Amino acid sequence: MTENRATRDHAERVTVYYDGDCPLCRAEIGHYQRCRGADDVAFVDVSRPDADPGPDLPREAAMARFHVREADGRLVSGAAGFATLWSVLPGWRPLARIARLPGVRALLELAYRGFLPVRPHLARMVGRLGRARE
């Protein structure tokens, strides 16, 4: 399990589950990990064999879709997961507030679902770009 060190107890933090085998996902999570407030987030790479997202989140589901466990233990995914993550990162809180407006979360979820089929192609492109820079 990979996670940021934080001053708060793990049980009080948001936990982000991400596919570390996906170059696109790694790049995005890397960005969030560098944001102010990221020390209050546990980042779990579910592609690692020792990762344990919990009994309510099968590893395959965690790798196929963005999931976040809220501080109270509730599991959310997709647009709701991003909104939860954004709410704990000070620089992203304005977007979290917008996501709470009536109808906005539903639109964000539609956009996310539209993105999911394209994700593997984008991940391959990002992976190629990363290898070309090496």
Considering the entire predicted model, what is its pTM? Answer: 0.81
Determine what percent of the chain is predicted with pLDDT higher than 70: 87
pLDDT greater than 80 at residue 120:
no
Residues 19-42: tens digit of each pLDDT? 999 888 888 999 999 999 999 999
**Sign of the CA dihedral running 25, 38, 40, 3:** positive
Exposed e or buried b per residue across 33-67, where buried means at least 16 C-beta atoms within 10 angstroms of its C-beta: bebebbebbbbbbbbeeebebeeebebeebbebbb
